[in-house]
Amino acid sequence: MSSTEICGALKCQGYGPGVAKDLGIRKEALRGWVRQAEADRGERDDRLTTAELDELKQLLKEVAELRWANEIIEAASVFFAQEFDRPRMRPSG
What is the per-residue pLDDT for 7? 62
> What does the pLDDT average to over 28-37?
91
Same domain, 36 and 3: yes
Range(s) of the domain holding residue 60:
49-86
pLDDT digits (tens, 9 = 90+) for 43-80: 999 999 999 999 999 999 999 999 999 999 999 999 99
User: How many Å apart are CA 42 and CA 57, to the nearest integer?
Assistant: 20
Q: Which is more confident, 82 or 13?
A: 82
CA distances for 75 relative to 39, 71, 79, angstroms: 44, 6, 6
pLDDT value at residue 38:
93
- 91 falls within a domain: no
Domain count, the chain: 2
The reply to whether 43 and 58 lie within a common domain is no
| 24 and 65, same domain (yes or no) | no
pLDDT band, residue 40 (cuts 50/70/90): very high
